[in-house]
Amino acid sequence: IQISQVLAALQAGTRGTCIHAASTVSGVIGDLDTTIMFATPGTLNADGDEAFSDHRENILRTAKSLVEDKKTLVAGAASNQEQLASAAFSAVMTITQLSLCVKQGAAFLGSEQHSSISLTVSHAECQSILQVLLINAVKDVASALGEFISATKNKNI
């Protein structure tokens, strides 16, 4: 086996990893779209006595981890295929976790009474709007991540 064949196989494997990563992110986006379908009419309800504040720290911690993963992904795109594949895998795991954290938290969003809720919008409508906004925010992040991963799979190193 020639070295060029080994390198070609490694590059193809990494492209496969990036294709799989982009596909997984696409699945996360589809799952978020489904959750938005339930949140829009106000049917995304929480089970239990928790509040959004119980989920906020986990969402923030996971979001910060995704920022670090994105930095590593950018560095991996500028270096070798192995680092790129590893960074893509890590970023996909983190966006999946962030999606789960946000969906769980969104279900409890608005469960606390806020004095800032507009009198022209019912509490249920306000809760639904906040849920959709939060879920759309993580969906936008997932979309950007998926686009970046898709762009890197065509990179020739």
Residue 52: give its domain's CATH number.
1.20.1420.10
pTM greater than 0.85: no
| pLDDT tens for each residue of 32-87 | 999 999 999 988 888 888 888 899 999 999 999 999 999 999 988 888 778 888 88
- Asked which of 39-43, 75-79, 92-96, 99-103 is least confident by mean pLDDT, the reply is 75-79
DSSP 80: -
Whole domain around residue 115: which residue ranges?
3-155
| pLDDT tens for each residue of 49-64 | 888 889 999 999 999 9
User: How many folded domains does the chain comprise?
Assistant: 1
- State the DSSP string of 124-137: HHHHHHHHHHHHHH
Spatial distance between the Cα atoms of 57 and 62, rounded to a whole number of angstroms: 8
Nearest Cα residue to 109 out of 96, 126, 122, 97 = 126
pLDDT tier at 19 (50, 70, 90 boundaries)?
A: confident
